[in-house]
Structure 1
């Protein structure tokens, strides 16, 4: 059984979901291993994403786990069987793994919902804005690595600007639209770019204004990526130790509710565009 040195977040998710199914069935790892004719170490490698798993083995495990969720099993089969090497692989060993994992999750997502509080969402950022942001947050970053980060961020936009864009909705706090990450001219160009993208049929932009009463959602920044089935959704959050990928059913439901609350507090699309346009005129 071939093993991977650096499994991606998507590969680890397949293993994690198989482990959840096993635990729900009340079986030990050794018992599951015997169903596949492998040892406990190999079973551990499958459940950690270090080793791949075939469609036949996924379906055999599901049958023995008495899992009746055929849509979930079909989705896991599709995820396990995809051998696509996406554009992000050119950054393997160049940028932190979390950058590549997010790009991969973006590529396969069925939708994306963002809440942005202090910065313009990454998918909207101009090159000048992204460069200024990376340079400030990583002052010791070598120039060549800084350029890799900027170029990677620009390439990620393919999911909303490419030939097959996904549905994308973002709620942006007014703070992110006022903090001048770049110079005045560059920042005005950034706001204009947000306005341009907000006109696309597959993009929804809503703004939470400063003057809103009873808004305690300043800590709600997130990226919510839709999976092939809802139980395979992923929420991505920045954490003190780095990027955190949230996958448990309870936490996913918590962040779905949080996104709905923030969205309900925001202005509608038309009023949001009016506010952004006014902010751009003030520069």
Structure 2
């Protein structure tokens, strides 16, 4: 019997049925409502109904934008303002009658890539999503690492600039303020670039635009610093990076790998590999199912 997986984010909510080999059998998706908590829940409930109408499930795994509170079974996503301390586990359990397990979306991305994607075989893995925001999750010694509250791996809110800009999290100088797609775009525009978004910025960098290339250099330097710091603490062997900005390919990964050489002084950190994610938009669903496994 399949696992029902949910992937809840600020842009979209997805539900799917995942088999025991990690294959996505069915997938349903809708935009995330932002007008009220109940509107967002009604979309979630509708997607659950669609998935269960396609086949039975034995349990539910939920990947949610965070912060999450595992003990309470609640979520307070920074990018879903209408959900604060929302009792997602209780709501899903009541609706489905199934056992439910919750995890942060960054952790689930890492688990999905560890199970079925670029992270197969890695024992100490950091999974990262570089997109509208920057998320992350850790697989340590082959197992998901939740941390005390379920929020371990929030690499996007590691400080990369001690005198940096204020972040949406309330802190200052987080790597997300430098290397997320919107912040890269905003910085490039402040330097005179006239494009509209990170996708255009990547295209401009690929075409040799100096400001766009500088934006990627600035972002990848910040990413390299926090990746090297995390690797030093956790003794990582692999970092897998997905998300919209990562679709820039070598425009991101080339300068990132070069920047890493400046921060990886210790021998064991120099062995760190950095790879693009393989699962794309399915990583959260596959990882949510992995929570149940």
Global fold match (TM > 0.5): no
Q: Which has the higher contact order (CA 8 A, sep 6+)?
A: 2
**Alignment TM-score, normalising by the size of structure 2:** 0.30
Between structures 1 and 2, the one with greater strand share: 2
**Alignment TM-score, normalising by the size of structure 1:** 0.31
- Which protein is bigger by CA-based radius of gyration? 1
Between structures 1 and 2, the one with greater helix share: 1
